[in-house]
Amino acid sequence: MNNRVVITGLGVVAPNGVGVSDFLQSLKAGKSGIEFYPELKEHKFSCCIGGIPDVSQEMKEQYLSSLQLKNFNSSGILYGCMAGMDAWKDAGLKQGPDAEVDYDTGIVFGTGQSGVDKFREAIYKLDEGMVRRLGSNTVAQTMASGISAYLGGILACGNQVTTNSSACTTGTEAILMGADRIRQGKAKRMLVGSCSDHGTYIWGGFDAMRVMTYKHNETPESGSRPMSVSASGFVPGSGAGAFLLEDLESAKKRGARIYAEVKGGHVNSGGQRNGGTMTAPNPESVQRCIREAVKDAGIEASEIDSINGHLTATIKDPMEINNWKEALGLGREEFPVINSLKSMTGHCLAAAGSIESVAAVLQIAHGFIFPSINCEDIHPEILKLINASAIPHKMKKQEINTVIKASFGFGDVNACIVFQKYND
């Protein structure tokens, strides 16, 4: 079977906007969500800035009960529950304790590391011989599949309920995994997305690797600079993005609003060969992933209106632009607009692909291109490949039919997806 897959619900918890409406406004305005955090300085981080969603206690209580929130200490699961529940509601589906099990609806919701703060809390109690005071929710918050388990119970999903984990490729991969299940007729609906915790225990390893910027602690909003010659490393972020994917016939039958269609995609690995390592992509496999995604979508490269890149603000950005250009086979004048949401949110790690995909789909639904901020000084190696006009510095109103989005993660893993405006 090859059922058509459409997007009928969106949810997002991002550093620059919580909820689709706030996030959309930030996209159009080019608003940064990066701030200085004294806690990072206290822990002697070189990079003391980051992107953390602004979620109040009152907001938490709109999603989870006081009992669920008691001793709750996993920011990633919290963000994932919020985004997932918003996508579910946005799609017009029922939720609540009285909902019947829906065997036609499943979940693929990814993460990198789950409940690190909760795990740390448990370790201290264990070291003090307080095993009986760990509480009943320690396992649920620290197991990798904690996010999908929480959402599965809240929403009564009876199809496959699982968690994927592929570093920074996680979110984009989750969308493709859910879409494939619908394509094959194994589910009518899939809630998909990814989430990432924030804080010192998640970000510390990257600071130690010296891949995060240390030059903008006094100017946080200018810190994330994808495609810029003055880029000095990525800014860490956190949050979650979610999609309700649905079989087209099911969506039409219940009169659901359709944001866009998932036309196709591809997932692969470079095998950590030919330039690929644990932390660097194999260019050949990246280009292959992009070409196969275009082929699977049944489109021509010339049809692409916008590229939503991975583009992390590291020395690898020019290589990524070259990979896009080689894979698509487009000349300088034909190369489409390319932007990076990380300029506003930082690198949200496992949540990056899903949050950035929400941004990509909103471009199609609302007819605009969001800007890549902090990129006034485009890297000269990039300018050898594409025109400066291909990188938008301000929001641009434009009808968008086709957006291609890719993510590349540690372990030399890649995922690329094609979204397109729905046409009956």
Query: Measuring CA to CA, which residue among 337, 314, 311 is closest to residue 323?
Result: 311
Grouping H, G, I as helix, E, B as strand and the rest as coil, residue 21 is helix
Beta bridge partner(s), residue 413? 269, 409
Judged against a pLDDT cut of 80, whether residue 126 lies above it is answered with: no
Span 372-400, average pLDDT: 97
64 & 49 share domain:
yes
Q: What is the C-alpha to C-alpha distance for residues 196 and 357, in angstroms, rounded to an integer?
A: 15
Last residue of a domain, one of 205, 232, 260: 260
Is the pLDDT assigned to residue 403 strictly greater than 70? Answer: yes
Residue 250 pLDDT more than 80?
yes
List the beta bridge partners of residue 187: none
In terms of residue numbers, what domain contains 160?
Answer: 5-260
> How much is the pLDDT for 124?
67
Do residues 405 and 360 make contact, with C-beta atoms less than 8 angstroms apart?
yes
Q: Do 146 and 288 belong together in one domain?
A: no
Q: In angstroms, what is the C-alpha Rg of the chain?
A: 20
Q: Is the same domain home to 389 and 315?
A: yes
175-9-398 Cα angle (round to 5): 85
Bridge partner list, 188: none
Residue 122 has pLDDT above 90, yes or no: no
Q: CA-CA distance, 192 to 375, in Å (whole number)? A: 31
- Asked whether the predicted pLDDT for residue 128 surpasses 90, the reply is no
Mean pLDDT, rounded, for 276-304? 97
Q: What is the pLDDT of residue 315?
A: 95
| Tokens standing for residue 2 | 């090859």
Averaged pLDDT for residues 115-136: 75
Query: Rounded to 5 degrees, what are φ and ψ at 229?
Result: -70, -25
Kindly state whether residues 62 and 187 are assigned to the same domain.
yes
Q: pLDDT digits over 321-341, tens only?
A: 999 999 999 999 999 999 999
Q: What is the pLDDT of residues 23-60, one digit of tens each?
A: 999 999 999 999 999 999 999 999 999 999 999 999 99
pLDDT tier at 113 (50, 70, 90 boundaries)?
confident
Average pLDDT for 245-252? 98
Same domain, 242 and 367: no
Same domain as 294, residue 150: no
State the Cα angle at 300 between 419 and 176, rounded to 5°: 30
Question: Which residue among 209, 240, 260 closes a domain?
Answer: 260
**Does residue 127 share a domain with residue 35?**
yes
Alpha carbon distance 339, 353 (integer Å): 14
Question: Residue 41's pLDDT is what?
Answer: 97
Q: Which residue has the tokens 């000269």?
A: 380
Residue 4 burial class via C-beta count within 10 angstroms: exposed 0-12, middle 13-18, buried 19 and up: middle
Task: Lowest mean pLDDT of 136-140, 268-272, 329-333, 398-402, name the range.
Answer: 136-140
Which residue's entry shows tokens 């264990």? Answer: 126
Whether 330 and 249 share a structural domain: no
Domain co-membership, 253 together with 304: no
How does pLDDT run across 161-182, given as a tens digit for each residue?
999 999 999 999 999 999 999 9
List, for residues 58-100, the tens digit of each pLDDT value: 999 999 988 888 777 889 999 999 999 999 999 999 887 788 9
65/172 same-domain check = yes
Burial class (CB in 10 A: 0-12, 13-18, 19+), 43: middle
Query: Residue 93: which residues within 8 A CB-CB, separation 6 or more?
Result: 9, 105, 155, 189, 244
CB 347 within 8 A of CB 19: no
Q: How far apart are CA 154 and CA 62, in angstroms?
A: 13
Nearest to 348 by CA among 197, 221, 223, 238: 238
Of 260, 283, 301, the position where a domain reaches its end is 260
3-state secondary structure at position 254: coil
Same domain, 186 and 287: no
CB atoms under 10 Å from CB of 422, counted, come to 17
Domain of residue 408, CATH code? 3.40.47.10
pLDDT digits (tens, 9 = 90+) for 204-236: 999 999 999 999 999 999 999 999 999 999 999
Classify each residue of 347-376 as buried b or exposed e, where b means 16 or more C-beta atoms within 10 Å of its C-beta. bbbbbbbbbbbbbbbbbbbeebbbbbbbbe
Q: How many domains does the chain have?
A: 2
Percent residues over pLDDT 70 in the chain: 99
Residues 401, 310: one domain? yes
Write down the H helix ranges in 128-236: 138-142, 146-155, 170-183, 200-209
